[in-house]
Amino acid sequence: MLTPEQTAEMLSLQAQLAYDMARDSIVYLCGSVDAEGGWYDPEFIRHTSSEIVARSIRYLDLRGLIERHPTQPWVRVREEDDALDAGKVAA
């Protein structure tokens, strides 16, 4: 049985691992856009990983960590620590 402190640590680690996996899925599976600002095109997906990319974007969006381009279908991932510090993200 986990102590309350261990449970809190486990939940924190889960969130960190999920963030890392989702961010990496977007960065490595989506096409990088040749535009300033680190944008990725979720409509240009390498391999057959559209389901993984869609889940990754949804997870990060729910946490407030996805930024959408105003005129293109592109996305970029906010850094978790920066967003937490700014109060823009769910922990």
The per-residue pLDDT for range 6-53, each reduced to its tens digit, is: 999 999 999 999 999 999 999 999 989 987 888 999 999 877 788 999
CATH of the domain at 71: 1.10.10
Cβ atoms 81, 5 nearer than 8 A: no
Number of domains in the chain: 1
pTM of the model: 0.80
Domain for residue 11, yes or no?
Answer: no
Domain for residue 4, yes or no?
Answer: no
Q: What is the pLDDT of residue 55?
A: 95
Burial of 67 (0-12, 13-18, 19+ CB in 10 A): middle
Domain for residue 69, yes or no?
Answer: yes
Domain that holds residue 67: 16-85
Judged by DSSP in three states, 14 sits in helix
Domain for residue 46, yes or no?
Answer: yes
Domain for residue 1, yes or no?
Answer: no
pLDDT digits (tens, 9 = 90+) for 56-69: 999 999 999 999 99
Domain for residue 58, yes or no?
Answer: yes
Sign of the CA dihedral with 60 first, then 62, 67, and 69 last: positive
